[in-house]
Chain A
Amino acid sequence: MFWIAAVAPLATVVYAAVAAGRLGADGVWIETYRWVPVLGLDLGFRLDQFALLMLVIIGVVGLCVFTYAASYFHDGPEVARTAAVLLAFAGAMVGLVLSDNVLLLFLFWELTTVTSFLLIGTNDEQVGARSAALHALLVTGGGGLTMLGGLVLVAQQAGTWSLSAWVSAPPSGTVVTAGVGLILVGALTKSAQVPFHSWLAGAMAAPTPISAFLHSATMVKAGVFLVARLAPAFSTLGVWRWMVLGAGAASLLLGGYRALRQHDLKLVLAYGTISQLGLLMILFGAGTTEMATAGCALLLAHAAFKAALFLTVGVVDHQTHTRDLRQLTGLGRRWPVVTAAAALAAASMAGLPPLIGFIAKEFALKGALEEGVPGGRLLLVAIVVGSMLTVAYSARFVWGAFGSPDPHHGSGFEHVGADAPHPSKVFASAPVALGIVGLVLGLAPMLINGLVGNAVAALGYVGPAPALHLWSGFNAALALSAVVIAGGVVLFLLRGPVERFQERTPHVPSALRAYERGLQGVLVGSDRLTGVTQSGSLPVYIGVVLLTAVLVPLIPLLSQGGPEEWPALYDSPLQLVFGLVIVVAAFAAAMARRRFVAVLLLGAVGYAIVGMFVVQGAPDLALTLVLIETLGIVAFVLVLRHLPENFRPTMLPGRKLVPAIIGTVVGLFVFVFMLTAGSLRDTSLSADSAAAAVAAGNASVSQEYLVRSEPEAKGRNIVNVIVVDFRGFDTLGEITVLVVATLGVVGLVRAGRRRDGEPGDVGPGDAEPAPMMTSTGAAEADPEPTA
């Protein structure tokens, strides 16, 4: 499966290579297709050198991950699904980096959210995996929605949905500032920055190849990507500096600090990712050419070493069935090649020469030493301390996974690894290859000089990007690097005390706990709300529905102020007869003691109204109503079999009074409403007068339908033409509702029967009357021909 899927990332790499040749140093390739022009949503794609850099990362890492996954996953029915979702995830990320239309970008953004939800929950039979997936979905999905709000705000001010247009001509103002703040919330949640970082640690519930992809090339890089894109336009805003640089620095330090106490190799790496992403945020968010150059280099370096390390953990986990660094021993001697590659990758992460990670860190320090960097020395200190922590946890990773037993952890751990089977060559090739990439690029940075330089220029920075080189002489940055490495080594040597210190100090503002509390609060709150609003009492529901139906139209009705003229009392003596029947039957129905009698009397009311329709000349209405009444009585009779013969006698006076009041109010309201509405309408609906009104341009809706029915819809029955053609959309909605309601009724009735343990004891409980109401309600909600 994964071999087949690997064709797609391979194609991405080939495409990127071809495009790089065609594009030239500062070329841009734009393709736009119309999609929903009304919303400003176009399929607008734009390939420039920065998008190319991202494409290379996604393609190369994707290729490694997919070939690796072919050996990692054992064949099974779920593997095909996993491969497909992982491919969709990669595809969404490719779409994201290529989108120029911000709405399209949002679309791909949320696609990565949804696919990552599915990927994290791959082992869906485990509770932990499911809740981790939900956590990621809620945090990144919520951030995405916040971002959408920001995108709309900025787009309104900029007058365009094009991301590149925003950067070339940045809008400004308070609204833009607010919008940028909202966009940054999206970027920070996606890139797992403090205080939204907790989902990423949980996301390691995913199988390792997926984690590798998610941490190195996709998902979390989306936030960095967006910040990189927007930085040239908005990095001078105050909100930008606080959010990007503040959250970046906090993540850099906190992630590194937390990584020092983890025992699960994957968790060490996960907190390391949070830390490294914080550094990337700082580099891209600072808004200077030097920092952005370092950012692009670190983007490449991080993709290579993080993927290599995760894949190595996968190999370890797959062969030894543990990831606990207190148990793993002796793997270094058994698997020299894998160990060497992992050590190279970890050294690149730590920023040791001569690896690409070292170059990136050197340029970061150099950039932070420059004048004019926001935050100045504070930022420099954060980078230095964060890098020290990085050195320490990199060493901790290598030592833990491949070293000999660590006396700091004491005994009591079963040691695993001395007899672990060797991984196959294909399986181990991906992490080894990625580890070597870091070394090659470190020794020969000129290979990526063009790519990085062009990418920085494509982002919109003026001034040439400094060329990457391994040795740039003795300077302040080199001295700081030495301090970083020395500090990191000291931290590693003191790993025992550091770990114990962390265990003793409670980390009070825990983001994970805040998330859990929040989720719990929402669940409890909605539970209470449901308890208050859903009483389960049918009379209460009907009362609320009826009173709402009265109160809402009452406001415009009062402003209208009653009927202008009273219509004639009756047009035909038959109407008097039917009216009398209606009144008498309605009162009798309200007075009836037996349910069956009440139903029959209601039927009498209905049939009398049918008579009214016939007299008034509305055969369609009459035909429909007579059938509805008939079937309604049948349905009632069927339900009445389950109910006691008589209504329950009530002792409480209010039980009878309140329904009576509600009924009277509704009746009065409908009476006044019909009179007022009727007097407002032009009632002359003869063909000639309607045609005249249409010609004069002041026709009412009914007059217009009358005139347009035959020539336009080729139908003489206006009622039917309205139902299927003029208002066909309504009908479509109504039959959909009808189907859903009917299936709901069926479900309720069957569920009610199943729940009632005592078959003979079906009283006026909750289970039976509810479907009865729904069924008659559905019948009344049918597409009535009187639109």
Chain B
Amino acid sequence: MSAAQPIDQGDPPEHGGAPMRPPSLILDVVVRAEFHVLLIVSTYLLFAGHNSPGGGFVGGLVAGAACATRYVAGGPAELRRSIRARPTTILGAGLLISVSTAFLSLYNDGGFLQHRLLSVDVPFIGPVKTSSAFFFDFGVYLVVLGTVLLILSVLGSPTEDDA
């Protein structure tokens, strides 16, 4: 145990991100390579969820896991660099999106949370069919991602033990 020193209160502007162990070059490189791949996988899971294994919940967990690998490799500073938005913002945005989807379905005589099929003509790609349930699922995705980020950043913020 180290000597007493001021405790870190959450989000310091610059702490240097003291990692828990000496940074490993291999780990660092591998994580940088796989981080974006994992994010793409999570996006795929989110979109594919309605018809094959996946969904917003799993997608959010994968994205959270991707951020966790960044954290393991480089500590809190690296975590903050991986996703710029504040975790609480992501959390709130997710809940807002899901709730507003639920309310939007009241529009046009639908019931609360009654999803409908949407079809959009995207230029160069053609008609894309999706359901309003996708946006609901996207909200779930953001909530899960925000939760993981928030827990990592709060439990993992550098403390006296890391000094």
**Mostly helix, strand, loop or mixed at chain B's interface?**
helix
The answer to whether A720 and B155 touch across the interface, beta carbons within 8 angstroms, is no
The answer to whether B155 and A725 touch across the interface, beta carbons within 8 angstroms, is no
Residues of B within 8 A of A746 (CB): 150-151, 154
Residues of A within 8 A of B58 (CB): 620, 623-624, 627
* Given contacts A716-B52, A732-B99, A783-B140, A725 and B115 within 8 Å (CB-CB): yes
Is A743 at the interface (CB under 8 A from chain B)? yes
The answer to whether B54 and A759 touch across the interface, beta carbons within 8 angstroms, is no
Docked CA distance A715–B56 (Å): 14
A290, chain B: closest CB distance, angstroms: 54
Residues of A within 8 A of B150 (CB): 742-743, 745-746
The answer to whether A724 and B9 touch across the interface, beta carbons within 8 angstroms, is no
Mask of B90-128 contacts with A, CB within 8 angstroms, 1/0: 011011001100100000000011010100000000000
The answer to whether A753 and B68 touch across the interface, beta carbons within 8 angstroms, is no
How many positions in chain B have a CB within 8 Å of any CB in the partner chain?
62
Is B83 at the interface (CB under 8 A from chain A)? no
Docked CA distance A729–B105 (Å): 13
Closest to A750 in B: B10
Is A158 at the interface (CB under 8 A from chain B)? no
Is B24 at the interface (CB under 8 A from chain A)? no
Residues of B within 8 A of A715 (CB): 50-51, 131, 133
How many positions in chain A have a CB within 8 Å of any CB in the partner chain?
53
* Given contacts A624-B58, A627-B58, A723-B57, A749 and B99 within 8 Å (CB-CB): no
Residues of B within 8 A of A638 (CB): 152, 155-156
Residues of B within 8 A of A731 (CB): 98, 136, 140
Q: Which B68-89 residues sit within 8 Å CB-CB of chain A?
A: 68, 71-72, 88
Is A714 at the interface (CB under 8 A from chain B)? yes
A783, chain B: closest CB distance, angstroms: 6
**Mostly helix, strand, loop or mixed at chain A's interface?**
helix
A559, chain B: closest CB distance, angstroms: 35
Mask of B53-72 contacts with A, CB within 8 angstroms, 1/0: 11111100110110010011
Is A728 at the interface (CB under 8 A from chain B)? yes
The answer to whether A735 and B143 touch across the interface, beta carbons within 8 angstroms, is yes
The answer to whether A785 and B57 touch across the interface, beta carbons within 8 angstroms, is yes
The answer to whether A760 and B160 touch across the interface, beta carbons within 8 angstroms, is yes
* Given contacts A634-B68, A738-B147, A724 and B2 within 8 Å (CB-CB): no
Task: Select the residue from B10, B20, B55 with max chain A CB neighbours within 10 A.
Answer: B55
Is B161 at the interface (CB under 8 A from chain A)? yes
Is B29 at the interface (CB under 8 A from chain A)? no
Q: Which A728-764 residues sit within 8 Å CB-CB of chain B?
A: 728-729, 731-732, 735-736, 738-739, 742-743, 745-746, 749-750, 753-754, 756, 758-762
The answer to whether B160 and A619 touch across the interface, beta carbons within 8 angstroms, is no
The answer to whether B49 and A717 touch across the interface, beta carbons within 8 angstroms, is yes
Residues of B within 8 A of A716 (CB): 50-52
Docked CA distance A57–B157 (Å): 63
* 7 further contact pairs, Cβ within 8 A, besides A627-B61, A738-B144, A742-B151: A623-B54, A631-B148, A638-B156, A639-B155, A720-B54, A742-B147, A753-B8
Q: Which 8 A-B pairs have the closest CB atoms?
A: A627-B61, A638-B155, A715-B50, A760-B1, A720-B55, A716-B51, A619-B53, A759-B160
Question: What are 8 A-B contacts defined by CB distance under 8 Å?
Answer: A631-B61, A714-B131, A723-B137, A724-B56, A739-B143, A742-B151, A746-B151, A775-B155
